[in-house]
Structure 1
């Protein structure tokens, strides 16, 4: 029995994420994730301060967006430099094979998490569809839904957002 098209899409998503992890390695994957989180947090914290210093004759919303974007881009650029240095250090240690193998596993888990989140979001619209009932991938991944949602709640809490979507003001 051939796989339904949505199963193929899910497997491609997991496989692509795993391939990115393999080619980039665990260190670059984890550092990249940390850089994006730092860029977002620093842009939230410092963007408004930068916007206050702008002497442009534009609205406050535009200044706020420019401040956010400027901080975000600067942190990403600085992070790219750091990531390049760490990647060179990993290569110099001779741990490239281990790093890439762990990157493969990290990428596969990341891909599975993204697919699980997509399945949870699609469930209200797809549960009565034939592909949902015929799927061989969804029943394997959905038992991990609770674990993934707890993980997402924990990550959101780090950013000061409660599970109800309301900000806690902790940022």
Structure 2
């Protein structure tokens, strides 16, 4: 298939999934989770066993465990909500056209074309296909919006992009 068109509206769960994936699939996100688990387990396990001089340190470790495992994921959750509600672009439906030239995104009267050579990376995860324009800017295309065009879009992306720019397709 040489041309694929779809209309996409990103919903809050799509944005939230993207933000969690973007954060926790990087080494820093993984380190946060491991550090949180280690702090929590070590702090709770040793709180009662260690001399009272070290108990404030164990409380400190337990606090950091909760910080990494509870606060930071909740912060990402509410950041996604804030970004979704304050950014008017999420209220609109975008029209995507994938063809021989690349990807054209249209919204009402405006449109922009990104050539295949200018794609930073394309990522396929459980809920969406994410087209990165730069390291931190991406277009989220939920698979539920694509319907049966998902496999055709994956094939088109694999055919037009080098293997190093395609992940999970």
Q: TM-score band (shorter)?
A: 0.3 to 0.5
Pair member with larger Rg: 2
Higher helix share: 1
Higher strand share: 2
Scaled by the length of structure 2, what TM-score is found?
Answer: 0.36
Structure with greater contact order relative to length (CA < 8 Å, sep ≥ 6):
1
